[in-house]
Amino acid sequence: MGSPRKKLQGLVAATLTPMTENGEINFSVIGQYVDYLVKEQGVKNVFVNGTTGEGLSLSVSERRQIAEEWVTQGRNKLDQVVIHVGALSLKESQELAQHAADIGADGIAVIAPFFFKPWNKDVLINFLREVAAAAPSLPFYYYHIPALTGVKIRAEELLDGIQDKIPTFQGLKFSDTDLLDFGQCVDQNHQRQFALLFGVDEQLLSGLVMGATGAVGSTYNYLGKKTNQLLEAFERKDFSSALSYQFCIQRFINFVIKLGFGVAQTKAIMTLVSGIPMGPPRLPLQEATREFTDSAAAKLKSLDFLPFADLKGGNLGAYS
């Protein structure tokens, strides 16, 4: 991994947490998972224990072990390993933040507490500051995901003057469709000192046009290669190709959203595409149905995201 102060950019895969059929963490496949992301998807940054990683459904001990495994397996292979350490308990969040620093992670991220909710920006910043202070050497990212936390404090409000309060603040993971809010974050970031990472994969191109400096998402686990083509087209100002890539990605995401799409389904798709068993999700999530997986497989194939050989060659076997 690179120096902790290197700016986080490009694609960041929001990693899944592989589990066994008994619901235990399957640490044994994380090394293979790292290699798959780097070699097959061209993705060299990971966001661990977030939404996709079922971070809030895991025990603190499991979260620590998973973070350690990603840091260990990612050494000299991944550019950055960012650990999500958000929790309802400030103490747990601080413990996880300190642990992330101790094991040599490259950054930490925190969502807003969502049971007793911060009712204004200052209260939210007070909470975030206490967590950040537990890992004073690590870049700190705020993870804005209002649809799941129910905390609707606008990101642009939060950003205003944040580095005076949280000196390690390094950026934002913006998992929302409010492009006015996101645009105003970019507008404030005059010196481009912060990483502004867009978190809605099906709208990435809009985020890039608005000024996103990178992206964190679940689909980069298995559509990283295609999304990197989108990023490259955007970089060379070939907007027509960038739009074609985005539409292609949208066709798939739109299709699975209509079937019912979430972390469980992402696990099934990743198992299918990579051949690495991701296992079931943890309750209250429910495992994807066979019908979902078959339909997703057919769609991936029709979009050329999954060569026929892969379908025949055992990846479906890895799922069943």
Total number of residues binding ligand SI3 (CB under 6 A)? 15
Q: Which is nearer to ligand SI3, 237 or 284 (CB)?
A: 284
Cβ contacts of residue 219 below 8 Å, gap of 6+? 201, 227, 249, 253, 266
Whether 143 sits among the annotated catalytic residues: the reply is yes
Binding span for ligand SI3 by CB under 6 A among 22-30, 34-42, 213-221, 308-316: 213-221
- How far, in Å, CA of 217 to CA of 252, rounded? 15
Quick count: other Cβ atoms within 10 Å of Cβ 63? 27
80-84 and 107-111: which strand pairing? parallel
CB-side neighbour CA atoms (13 Å) of 225: 12
Q: Does 107 bind ligand SI3 (CB under 6 A)?
A: no
Residue bearing tokens 């690590």: 138
Selected catalytic residue, list 33, 36, 141, 143: 143
- How far, in Å, CA of 297 to CA of 292, rounded? 8
Q: Which is nearer to ligand SI3, 184 or 265 (CB)?
A: 265
CA distances for 170 relative to 53, 106, 196, 298, angstroms: 22, 11, 9, 41
Binding span for ligand SI3 by CB under 6 A among 118-126, 184-192, 211-219, 291-299: 211-219
Q: Which is nearer to ligand SI3, 1 or 256 (CB)?
A: 256
Whether 173 sits among the annotated catalytic residues: the reply is yes
Q: Which is nearer to ligand SI3, 165 or 282 (CB)?
A: 282
Q: Does 175 bind ligand SI3 (CB under 6 A)?
A: yes
- Cβ atoms of 69 and 45 within 8 Å: the answer is no
The single residue among 105, 200, 212, 268 that binds ligand SI3, judged by CB under 6 A, is 200
Residue nearest to ligand SI3 (CB): 50
Interhelix angle for 220-235 vs 239-259, to 10°?
160
The single residue among 18, 50, 207, 279 that binds ligand SI3, judged by CB under 6 A, is 50
- H/E run at residue 45: strand 45-48
Q: Does 253 bind ligand SI3 (CB under 6 A)?
A: yes
Catalytic residues: 143, 173
Binding residue numbers for pyruvate: 52, 216
Q: Residues in the site for ligand SI3, rule: CB under 6 A?
A: 14, 47, 50-52, 175, 199-202, 216-219, 253
